[in-house]
Amino acid sequence: SQELEQSPQSLIVQEGKNLTINCTSSKTLYGLYWYKQKYGEGLIFLMMLQKGGEEKSHEKITAKLDEKKQQSSLHITASQPSHAGIYLCGAGRSGNTPLVFGKGTRLSVIA
């Protein structure tokens, strides 16, 4: 079965700093999703990557999927307190299968 490993498990950054979160899969990724979760709440969809080498950006968040489609990174530029939360990567084995998730990366942004 597919497994996703996220690193780091937790991250504390000073406001204004850049940061990167990684997600590594044990198998080739069909579709890779990034979600953000506030503690104890539902998941907010950020981005989905499907093609090797694909890169997407939304506001100050950029996600990339490597050429071999086994690793993705999420990069936040000039972090703000509003970026704080748990970032989860999820992957589907094919088009309409449910997602397997990593354990998440807990991000804290301090002033």
Residues that bind other proteins (CB under 8 A): 4, 30-31, 33, 35, 40-45, 48, 50, 88, 90, 92, 95-104
Cβ neighbours, 10 Å, residue 86: 19
CB of 109 vs other proteins, minimal distance in Å: 20
CB of 16 vs other proteins, minimal distance in Å: 28
Closer Cβ to other proteins, 9 or 18, answer by number:
9
Closer Cβ to other proteins, 18 or 26, answer by number:
26
Closer Cβ to other proteins, 44 or 78, answer by number:
44
